[in-house]
Amino acid sequence: MKKIILIVLLIFSSNALGEKNIINIAIVNDKIITNIDLANEIKFLKLFEENIKDPEKIKQTAINNLINDILKDQEISSNNLKSNDDLIKKNYNNIISKFSNQKITLTKILENKIYDKIKIEINWNNLITKKYYWSININLSEIEEKIKNEKKTRSPKEILDYKEKLVSIEKDKKLSLYSQNHLNKIKKESLIRFF
């Protein structure tokens, strides 16, 4: 009797999954990317990348994002980087509340994807800052040179705010550059295969 129930359950579960056949799309080192992963990434992109309209471009961007996320996560793990859970939760709650304010209902899968993306990006940026801290420092004399003419037309508080903004922009540029270079280096050393 147990065998019959098991067979019936297997038939029903396979029929329920009939429309959702899992197909392997790629493998990144030891991590497989499936069509389900791709579909979820496309849903995520449609929420955040409204300017991408071409379905083929969305698909390619989604595949690239999935590969990058896996490589970043593996690099974070291999460096034993400790997560800043409070910062991750704060950023996550801010994004979720924006969707809530716009009356956009997210599935649990998308909520988890948003959380995972935030976690990867915060940890990745911390890793890059840690690895390249000596190169991300900003030359303050260059910043002072840029704001020299602004001192005549702005108040001291405005100058300070402007200076902080310029420093932040320059740090972000350098962080982005080192981030992309490090990711490219990891890609060259990784096994990425498409099915």
Domain-located, residue 3: no
φ and ψ at residue 81, rounded to 5 degrees: -80, 130
Beta-carbon contacts of residue 52 (< 8 Å; ≥ 6 apart): 45, 58, 61
pTM, two decimals, is 0.79
Query: What whole-number percentage of the chain has pLDDT above 70?
Result: 90
Across 88-107, average pLDDT: 91
pLDDT, position 1: 38
- CA dist 181 and 159 (Å) reads 33
Q: What secondary structure, in 3-state letters, does 20-78 show?
A: HCCCEEEEECCEEEEHHHHHHHHHHHHHHCCCCCCHHHHHHHHHHHHHHHHHHHHHHHH
pLDDT, position 119: 97
Q: What is the pLDDT of residues 38-95, one digit of tens each?
A: 999 999 999 888 777 788 999 999 999 999 999 999 999 999 988 889 999 999 999 9
Domain-located, residue 140: yes
Domain-located, residue 186: yes
Q: What is the pLDDT of residues 116-129, one digit of tens each?
A: 999 999 999 999 99
- How many domains does the structure of the chain reveal? 1
Residue 98, CB half-sphere, CA atoms under 13 Å: how many?
9
3-state secondary structure of 79: coil
- CA dist 161 and 108 (Å) reads 39
Domain-located, residue 9: no
Residue 35, CB half-sphere, CA atoms under 13 Å: how many?
7
Identify the domain containing residue 86 by its residue range.
17-194
- Encoding tokens for residue 102? 């716009």
Residue 49, CB half-sphere, CA atoms under 13 Å: how many?
16
Domain-located, residue 12: no
Q: What is the pLDDT of residues 10-43, one digit of tens each?
A: 333 333 444 469 999 999 999 999 999 999 999 9
Residue 35 near residue 25 (C-beta atoms within 8 A):
yes
Conformation bin of residue 56: beta by default, left when phi > 0, alpha when psi is -120 to 50: alpha
Q: What's the count of helices (H) and strands (E) in the chain, helices before strands?
A: 7, 3
| Residue 132 pLDDT > 70 | yes
Domain-located, residue 88: yes
Q: What is the CATH number of the domain that holds 34?
A: 1.10.4030.10
Mean pLDDT of the chain: 85
Domain-located, residue 8: no
Strand order across the 31-34 sheet = 31-34, 24-28, 192-194
| Residue 179 pLDDT > 70 | yes
For the chain, how many residues are written? Answer: 195
Helix (H) or strand (E) holding 1: none
Across 163-192, average pLDDT: 91
Domain-located, residue 148: yes
